[in-house]
Structure 1
Amino acid sequence: MSELPTAVDDRLADPSPRPRALNSALEEAVRIVGAERVLLPATDGSATGLLGPNTGLFRSRRVAAVLRPADAEQARRLVALFGREAGSGSLHVISTGRNWGLGSSEPARDDAVVLDLGGLDRIRDLDLEAGWAVVEPGVTQGRLSELLAGTDRMLNVTVSAAGTSILGNLLDRGVGLRGQRTEDLAGLEVALADGDTVRVGWWPGEDRRAPVYPHGLGPSALPLFVQSDLGAVTAAVVRLRPRPEALRLVRLTFRRPGLAPAVTAVRRWVAQGLTRGVPRIYDPAAGRAYGGADDEFLVDLPVDGTAESVRALAGVLVGEARRAGVFTRVSDTDATDPDNPRRAEAALVERAYTGDPDVEDTLFRAKMGVGAEEVDAQAGFLFFLPLLPLTGEAAVRADQLVQDAAAATGTRMSATLHLLGPDLVDCVIALRFARDEDSARRAHRALDLLYSSFTGAGFAPYRLDVDHAHWVDTLAPDAGAVALTRRLKALLDPHQALASGRYS
């Protein structure tokens, strides 16, 4: 057995109040992955800031170590190691760590060991005919999308940076431009605390003849590992969507007094199948980065299919919008009209609906003011993500709640409605602030107000940040269901090898 490198050995030998079992586990972790893949606090005992800054300016948690396995087998061995003995410590699992606005890489609680799976970055398998890919946590949406360029399959991309993890976003129930990303999940490979690796849902066999069907026979374990601390996911089967032969973006604008009738009209078009994917409605603050005016809401309605059907449906939508009498501008040529001053933004949005995540991050930089590599160090940014019913009344109420929180705290906010069908809206509220103590304090106060006011109105969040993990119990429709998941946790992970997170 090789000796530990001196620097790592010195830190492990530091007489800080680290539990014996944890110290023993970290020594073994070094032997599993190598000293170059283990990051420990400084010898002065400092255990905060080990992960670097986070864009939300959430409190930096104490972190016992960061472990960076090189492959799935090393990850499995680490999970088994920490599951072997009580007191060994708990692993907080991240992919690329770009969970911006919700905590970035930060654990929900202090003293976790961070298991960074960003080094697991293989696209293990790809079947364009059947429409799936097997990807590891470090695979980004930009990388897979570039691989699919020119094929008749596409990834359901988000509007975040190209360098974000597909798997990390999917497991936190992120939303792409073609639908909720959990709809793209077919199977998971999971490392359990007892040392086993299990594959749940659908997984490709050697003959590849079995159609993709994630539910299997009997009870399905697949959903158990979404927003979950029951295991460490080391790979997933992700569905690839058919790429439309043609797509056109119909863009509308309206002023704030028209919010209710505009949403009512758009809901009808969604319900009747005139627009597909995830249509979006931006408030004036959110719409600026996408080519909207300062004083108007902006609506993006994607129409796709064959070239002939796109021409016909776009014409129908344009006619419907003009007859509605609420929209100040109606166009289906924003992405192609050379005289349109916002043609570049519209074209990038149109391309995103066809699976192109904008690998140059043009729109992302316009929204954030910095590139993906600088977000955590330079931007001040928080997310609040409630669900709304798709009604004009709910949209007006949500808009007023955002304005109220902004006025009460002096925090800049923007809201985008992602329409997930005729009845459901994913409302993405972004809070932006300067990176100083007073601005951050006001932004976090605004976030607290949003949690209280939106849940009071019946609009509960579907994703939580690291400071609001305790809301799991508050928001649960049935306390017995939460208790059931905790019983499963006690059964599968009795020694707490996987750290309790935002949904525990």
Structure 2
Amino acid sequence: MTVLRTEETEREAPSARRLGPDLQIAAEVVGADRVTPLPAGLGPNVSRYRSRAVAGVVRPRTAEEVRRLVELFADDDLAPLHAFSTGGNWGLGSREPARDGAVAVDLAGLDRIRALDTAGGWAVLEPGVTQASLAERLAGTGRMLNLTASSAHTSVVGNALDRGVGLRRQRVDDLAGLEVALPSGELIRVGWWPVPHMTTPVYAHGLGPSLLPLFVQSNLAVVTAAAVRLLPRPEALRVVRLDFRPEVLGQVAAEIRSWVSQGLARGVVKMYNEAAARAYGSPPGLHLAHVCVDGSRRAVDALTRIVTEEAAGSGLFQDVSSTDATDPDSPRHEVARLVERAYAGEPDAADVLFEAKTGASAARLDQDGGFLFFLPLVPFTGPALARADELLAQVRAETGIRCGSTANALDADVVDCVITIRFDRDDGAAVERAHRAHDRLHELFAADGFTPYRLGIEDADRADRPAPDPEARAFARRLKELVDPHCAIAPGRYA
């Protein structure tokens, strides 16, 4: 994270900075040079959410420092803590806390890969470990990372904890164990954790109540490390590209669902509407689907042939291609090559596709970009996905905002949608219109039973609405009161 400093504080030695009482306590743990007052807040965010007032930012380097911070700040006389990994929670608030008055804890300095076992298929990562750094360590091995389509420089652990979606499966399914700092001052490990000098099977649930899920989308503790599953690297991989007209979306969804349910596709099938497909070179007016097949070379050849024949035989697609990535003369060669590499767990350190989609580099996105995310779950059926498309059209008619949409098929039954609402951040009317479109999407999708799986920092009041049983939400709040009675950690975030 780039910390914003005033010219005056740049000239001062760290020991000369005037720290408030909360930051003085933090400085005793991490050192004064790792504490920065931020009277103006954490800086801009890509969604143009109101910048929250924060006392400052603290940059610990070890789990023990985090444990001590959490223990000291578990006091109702001190400010609450708001922890973030690399700050790339773009579209949902970036680095911002949900409420004013927190001390921000930047965990990017906890960037060690503590342990790596490619035979066993796991790695122990701290929150500052990025997709690019882990993938580099895995290069040439028989294991790969479940990569996301975001920047190569985003946190593996942070994204998994907020249930981000990878190209192979939902990221939360990669979590085998967590190390967490509790307000009690304890540093505990839940789920599975490697035992020195012993070979133990990677099984996240253990015996008795499974504790790991308590710390996903949770403000019960601060996560200092995670045991992450690594996927077997396939011998071969190919992505079939399918362009289709928007009016046959429902039929296309039904066709692709049949392939997924019969095991023809591997990983997450992605379906893009016209606005989202542009970054991948689709012609104007068409939607796009990416269908990944992998396995042995013979299996990939056979599956590719079956999928392309099924696609051609359906009569639903304008174009069917499985050779863009290998044909240097294809106009979509470079994009297709990057897509296939990403499915194979190889991130693009230059973020070519990421910048094509967002219009800015990861380092400048919060300063130069403008977008919001709306992230609902939709049944993987033709009628449901067609209905979701109709709701996007309704929002466009009401607000003038044309949303990009990527439907990620998690399995044969569930799709998670990434709906992007872009705007010119320097146009106040455009910003207001985008936020109105975001609120309208929440209303319309909820009315059809399509509930969100992630929320932005200004959507805390929406967390209760999709709960099937209000008493379950009340139980979660009682857990919060028990574990963190003074609400020292991320108040207002999910619970």
Asked if these proteins are the same fold (TM beyond 0.5), I'd say yes
**Of 488, 495, 498, the match for 2:486:** 495
- For 2:456, the equivalent position in structure 1 comes to 465
Question: Which amino acid letter does the alignment assign opposite residue 25 of structure 2?
Answer: E
Q: 2:423, 2:14 → 1: CA distance? A: 43
Question: Which amino acid letter does the alignment assign opposite residue 467 of structure 2?
Answer: A
Give matches, 1:343-422, under 5 Å: 343-422=333-412
Question: Which amino acid letter does the alignment assign opposite residue 299 of structure 2?
Answer: S
| 1:340 and 2:330 are equivalent in the alignment | yes
- For 1:76, the equivalent position in structure 2 comes to 67
Question: Which amino acid letter does the alignment assign opposite residue 438 of structure 1?
Answer: A
Q: 1:502, 1:419 → 2: CA distance? A: 27
CA contact (8 A) 2:219 2:493 kept: no
Gaps of 5+ in 1: 13-22, 42-46
Question: Which amino acid letter does the alignment assign opposite residue 32 of structure 1?
Answer: V
Give matches, 1:235-254, under 5 Å: 235-254=225-244
Q: 1:260, 1:27 → 2: CA distance? A: 59
- For 1:199, the equivalent position in structure 2 comes to 189
| 1:126 and 2:123 are equivalent in the alignment | no
Residues 113-149 of structure 1 deviation map (CA, whole Å, 9 limit, x = unaligned): 1111111101000001001000000000111011111
Look up the SS of the partner of 2:193 in the other structure. coil
| 1:26 and 2:16 are equivalent in the alignment | no
Look up the SS of the partner of 2:491 in the other structure. coil
Q: 1:188, 1:52 → 2: CA distance? A: 30
Question: Which amino acid letter does the alignment assign opposite residue 399 of structure 2?
Answer: T
Look up the SS of the partner of 1:475 in the other structure. coil
**Of 146, 150, 153, the match for 1:160:** 150
| 1:91 and 2:88 are equivalent in the alignment | no
Q: CA deviation at 1:11?
A: 4.1
Q: 1:365, 1:115 → 2: CA distance? A: 27
Residues 135-166 of structure 1 deviation map (CA, whole Å, 9 limit, x = unaligned): 00000011101111111100000000000000
Look up the SS of the partner of 1:64 in the other structure. strand
Q: CA deviation at 1:5?
A: 5.6
Q: CA deviation at 1:435?
A: 1.0
Look up the SS of the partner of 1:27 in the other structure. helix
Give the total of aligned pairs. Answer: 482
**Of 469, 478, 485, the match for 1:478:** 469
CA contact (8 A) 2:403 2:420 kept: yes
Q: 1:269, 1:5 → 2: CA distance? A: 60
Q: 1:502, 1:349 → 2: CA distance? A: 33
| 1:221 and 2:211 are equivalent in the alignment | yes
- For 1:65, the equivalent position in structure 2 comes to 56
**Of 146, 166, 172, the match for 1:176:** 166
Q: CA deviation at 1:358?
A: 1.2
- For 1:35, the equivalent position in structure 2 comes to 32
Residues 245-268 of structure 1 deviation map (CA, whole Å, 9 limit, x = unaligned): 000111111101111111110000
Q: 1:198, 1:141 → 2: CA distance? A: 25
Q: 1:82, 1:252 → 2: CA distance? A: 53
| 1:230 and 2:220 are equivalent in the alignment | yes
- For 1:7, the equivalent position in structure 2 comes to 16
Look up the SS of the partner of 2:452 in the other structure. coil
- For 2:4, the equivalent position in structure 1 comes to none
With 402-411 and 122-131 compared, the bigger mean Cα shift is at 402-411
Q: 1:417, 1:231 → 2: CA distance? A: 32
Q: CA deviation at 1:368?
A: 1.0
Question: Which amino acid letter does the alignment assign opposite residue 293 of structure 2?
Answer: V
Residues 321-375 of structure 1 deviation map (CA, whole Å, 9 limit, x = unaligned): 1111111111111211222101111111011110012111010011111111010
Look up the SS of the partner of 1:467 in the other structure. coil
Look up the SS of the partner of 1:435 in the other structure. coil
Residues 245-303 of structure 1 deviation map (CA, whole Å, 9 limit, x = unaligned): 00011111110111111111000000000001001111111011112122101110000
Residues 168-189 of structure 1 deviation map (CA, whole Å, 9 limit, x = unaligned): 1000000000000111100000
Give matches, 1:210-359, under 5 Å: 210-359=200-349
Q: 2:430, 2:99 → 1: CA distance? A: 24
Q: 1:502, 1:297 → 2: CA distance? A: 35
Residues 92-122 of structure 1 deviation map (CA, whole Å, 9 limit, x = unaligned): 1111111000000111111111111111101
Question: Which amino acid letter does the alignment assign opposite residue 145 of structure 2?
Answer: L
Q: 1:375, 1:501 → 2: CA distance? A: 25
With 25-34 and 124-133 compared, the bigger mean Cα shift is at 25-34
CA contact (8 A) 1:193 1:492 kept: yes
Question: Which amino acid letter does the alignment assign opposite residue 316 of structure 2?
Answer: V
Gaps of 5+ in 2: 1-12
CA contact (8 A) 2:15 2:33 kept: no
- For 1:434, the equivalent position in structure 2 comes to 424
Q: 2:449, 2:202 → 1: CA distance? A: 36
Q: 2:480, 2:107 → 1: CA distance? A: 21
With 159-168 and 401-410 compared, the bigger mean Cα shift is at 401-410
Look up the SS of the partner of 2:79 in the other structure. coil
Identity %: 56
TM-score normalized by structure 1?
0.94
Kindly report the root-mean-square deviation, in angstroms, between the aligned alpha carbons of the 2 structures: 1.2
TM-score normalized by structure 2?
0.96
Q: CA deviation at 1:427?
A: 0.6
Look up the SS of the partner of 2:247 in the other structure. helix
Q: 2:313, 2:397 → 1: CA distance? A: 35
Look up the SS of the partner of 1:298 in the other structure. strand
Residues 33-60 of structure 1 deviation map (CA, whole Å, 9 limit, x = unaligned): 111211213xxxxx4x421110000001
Q: 2:492, 2:175 → 1: CA distance? A: 21
Q: CA deviation at 1:412?
A: 3.5
CA contact (8 A) 1:412 1:433 kept: no
- For 1:17, the equivalent position in structure 2 comes to none
Look up the SS of the partner of 2:55 in the other structure. strand
With 234-243 and 141-150 compared, the bigger mean Cα shift is at 141-150
Q: 1:456, 1:252 → 2: CA distance? A: 31
Runs of 4+ with deviation above 4 angstroms:
none
CA contact (8 A) 1:92 1:501 kept: no
Look up the SS of the partner of 2:304 in the other structure. helix
